[in-house]
Structure formats: C-alpha cells, structure tokens
Amino acid sequence: MKDISQDLIQCLEQILTGDPVVTKLAEEKLEILRSVIGFHFNLQSIYLDKSFPDQIRFIAAINFKNGVSRYWRNTSVG
C-alpha cells in the first residue's frame, strides 16, 4: 500500500495558495488520490494533528466530511 500522506498534504497546501491554476491542479490530484486506500484515514490523521496549520486541518476536515457524505451515508429513503 502506497503512503499518500505527503501527496495529500502537498495538495492541501496547494489548494490554499490563492493561485487559481495551482488550486485547480491540486483539486484534480486530490480527486485521483480519493481512489487510493487510506485516503480518508490520512485526511482524518491530518485534521486531528495539531502540528499542522489550522487552514490545512480545516481543508482536511472538509474533505473528510465530503467523503463521508459521498461514500458512507445511507442515501436511500426508508
């Protein structure tokens, strides 16, 4: 299993650059990383690690929440 934590951190940092081109490329790479085993675990690890800047932790938490909404919530109506 490939460790994606460094790639993930790099993507999160690039999303915050303010440069629309860099942000777009980082979001595209993030979409690719979503399919890698351990993606959500690494997001959770990042947002729980207080050694990371708050902005990085916040972006990781949002992506984790979006993943839960997209992949794990039961969307069928009973």
Instruction: Provide the token pair at 25.
Output: 């490329």
Segment 5-42, tens digit of pLDDT: 999 999 999 999 999 999 999 999 999 999 899 999 99
* CB 56 within 8 Å of CB 17: no
Q: What are the structural domain ranges in the chain?
A: 5-70
Q: Is 49 left (phi over 0), alpha (psi -120 to 50) or beta?
A: beta
Q: What is the pLDDT of residue 44?
A: 95
Q: What is the pLDDT of residue 54?
A: 96
- pTM of the shown model: 0.81
